[in-house]
């Protein structure tokens, strides 16, 4: 299986988890990464700028209609849902919060399934709610690869645990393990 994209959802403790994961990834990544991190509606794009400065990948806050390109990391803007269009561009929406969240992890994951089908990798990281569980299970049903952060390692274990309970993901791993797996997949895919 070759993969076309990675989607990641994170909430409480996510900033640190994402920092560890994204900085552990090599440059020249063969797929784009789309990230929903739950964040307060009026925050600026500090996280994208910061991660961009310290990682080998290009990290940016997503703009509406921008083409989704390999090697880039797109962070959902505060107060907008982020969707993947089937022509592989970014869609944004202000529809109501889903399970108290905007951006919502489920909204990103479910739209990514339509765009990428089975060629999608979904990852649920730390968080104190159950966003992402439905989305991860949609990815699994479509034949994509599913990963949850090891709950005992997560700063907040509820989100990865809910995802594990509902989606029964292929892998349950600490951040280091996730980074290693993604790096391997990337190397194999490039051969």
Q: Interface with another protein by CB under 8 A: which range of 12-20, 27-35, 109-117, 182-190? A: 109-117
Catalytic residue list contains 111: no
Q: Three-state SS for 181?
A: helix
Residue 85 in the binding site for another protein (CB under 8 A): yes
* Min dist. Cβ of residue 110 to another protein (A): 7
User: How many Å apart are CA 169 and CA 94, to the nearest integer?
Assistant: 30
Instruction: Find the catalytic residue in 55, 106, 111, 131.
Output: 131
How is residue 67 annotated by DSSP?
B
Structure tokens at 38: 């739950």
With contact defined as beta carbons under 8 Å apart, do 128 and 100 qualify? Answer: no
Quickly tell me which residue has 């990514």 as its tokens: 112
| DSSP state string for 91-154 | EEE-PPPBTTBSS-HHHHHHHHHHHHTTSEEEEE---SS-TTHHHHHHHHHTT-EEEEE-TTTS
Q: According to the binding rule CB under 8 A, does residue 30 interact with another protein?
A: no
Residue count at the site for another protein (CB under 8 A)?
27
Return the SS3 of 7. Answer: strand
- Whether 38 is catalytic is yes
SS3 for 85? coil
Among 24, 58, 114, 177, binds another protein (CB under 8 A): 114
We find the least distance from the C-beta atom of residue 6 to another protein, in angstroms, to be 17
The window from 15-23, 77-85, 156-164, 183-191 that contacts another protein (CB under 8 A) reads 77-85
Query: Which of the stretches 3-11, 50-58, 75-83, 160-168 binds another protein when contact is defined by CB under 8 A?
Result: 75-83
CB closer to another protein out of 86 and 184: 86
Among 142, 150, 166, 181, binds another protein (CB under 8 A): 142
Q: Which of 68, 72, 109, 63 is nearest to 89 (CA)?
A: 68
Q: Does residue 93 belong to the site contacting another protein (CB under 8 A)? A: yes
Residues forming the site for another protein (CB under 8 A): 42, 63-65, 77, 80, 83-86, 91-96, 107, 110-111, 113-115, 117-118, 141-143
């Amino acid at each position: 299986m070759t993969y076309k994209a990675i989607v990641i959802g994170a909430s409480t403790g996510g900033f640190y988890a994402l920092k560890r994961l994204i900085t552990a990834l090599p440059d020249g990544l063969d797929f784009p990464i789309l990230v929903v991190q739950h964040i307060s509606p009026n925050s600026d794009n500090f996280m994208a700028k910061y991660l961009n400065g310290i990682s080998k990948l290009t990290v940016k806050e997503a703009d509406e209609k921008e083409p989704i390109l390999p090697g880039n990391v797109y962070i959902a803007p505060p107060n907008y849902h982020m969707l993947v269009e089937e022509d592989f561009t970014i869609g944004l929406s202000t529809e109501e919060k889903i399970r108290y969240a905007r951006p919502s992890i489920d909204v990103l994951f479910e739209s990514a399934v339509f765009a990428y089908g089975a060629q999608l990798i979904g990852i649920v990281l730390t968080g104190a709610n159950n966003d992402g569980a439905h989305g991860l299970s949609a990815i699994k049903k479509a034949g994509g690869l599913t990963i949850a952060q090891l709950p005992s390692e997560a700063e907040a274990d509820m989100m990865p645990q809910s995802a594990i309970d509902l989606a029964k993901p292929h892998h349950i791993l600490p951040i280091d393990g996730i980074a290693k797996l993604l790096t391997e997949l990337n190397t194999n895919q490039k051969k």
